[in-house]
Amino acid sequence: MTTTETGRRVLATVGGHPALEISMTGTGRLLGHPVREFATYESELRPDGSLYGEGQGVGMSEKAEAYSWHGSGIGHFTGGGAVSWRGSIYFESASDAFLRLNDLVGLFEFDNDPQGDGRAVLYEWK
């Protein structure tokens, strides 16, 4: 899936570490279906310089079959403001095309550049 940022804002957190909220859109394929997603995630800079993030999103196929997801991961800066993320993701869907997602644990790789463009790859944990 390829993604593009649509917004950013800084959030205050209870622990005192600033968090960054990112909203994005993406297009790709899921279980063989072309999809479009809308998502938001929050990332917090940790004392060791890594990032912890949590996000959620909704997606829809060209035939209006919908799904949602929630995930979390660890990110590392790779230079110039780019970030490389690795984590897990869980889905929900009532649409026949995506019912299999309900029993699936996904592992993801998500890399984004300083301009906010990214690429995500999802693997099924078997």
pLDDT in tens, 9-20: 998 776 777 789
Long-range contacts of 89-97 (CB under 8 A, 24+ apart): 89/122, 91/67, 92/67, 92/68, 93/65, 93/66, 93/67, 93/68, 94/66, 95/61, 95/65, 95/66, 95/67, 96/65, 97/31, 97/33, 97/61, 97/63, 97/65
Range of the domain at 28: 2-124
pLDDT in tens, 91-102: 999 999 999 999
Our count of domains for the chain comes to 1
- List the CATH number of the domain containing 42: 2.40.160.20
* pTM more than 0.75: yes
